């Protein structure tokens, strides 16, 4: 979407990380809440899109690791 410059990357990364449950794993929608698969998926994808070096690059359209898409020879169609 070309709008990542609208965000404070450091604050967004920090928010995502404080929503992590370090004991059981996963991410919640806000700090202290119950983790769930939905917010875990988007937490990990968000960290990837923010350039976290510990996470594989994710495709923002399919929310899937780029290497998986390449291995399956899938290319998402982008609207112009």
Look at residue 60 in the predicted model and tell me its pLDDT. Answer: 84
Q: Tens of pLDDT along the chain (80 residues)?
A: 677 788 899 999 999 999 999 999 999 999 999 999 999 999 999 999 999 999 999 988 888 999 999 999 998 777 76
Look at residue 3 in the predicted model and tell me its pLDDT. Answer: 75
Q: What does pTM read for this prediction?
A: 0.81
Look at residue 1 in the predicted model and tell me its pLDDT. Answer: 60
Task: Give a three-class secondary structure readout of the chain.
Answer: CCCHHHCCHHHHHHHHHHCECCCCCCECCCCCCCCCHHHHHHHHHHHHHCCCCCCCCEECCCCEEHHHHHHCCCCCCCCC
Look at residue 80 in the predicted model and tell me its pLDDT. Answer: 67
């Amino acid at each position: 979407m070309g709008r990542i410059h609208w965000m404070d990357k450091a604050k967004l990364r920090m928010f995502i990380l404080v929503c992590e449950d370090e004991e059981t794993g996963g991410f919640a929608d806000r700090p202290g809440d119950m983790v769930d698969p939905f917010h875990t998926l988007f937490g990990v994808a968000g960290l990837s899109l923010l350039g976290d070096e510990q996470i594989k690059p994710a495709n923002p359209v399919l929310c899937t690791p780029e290497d998986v898409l390449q291995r399956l020879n899938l290319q998402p169609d982008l609207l112009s």
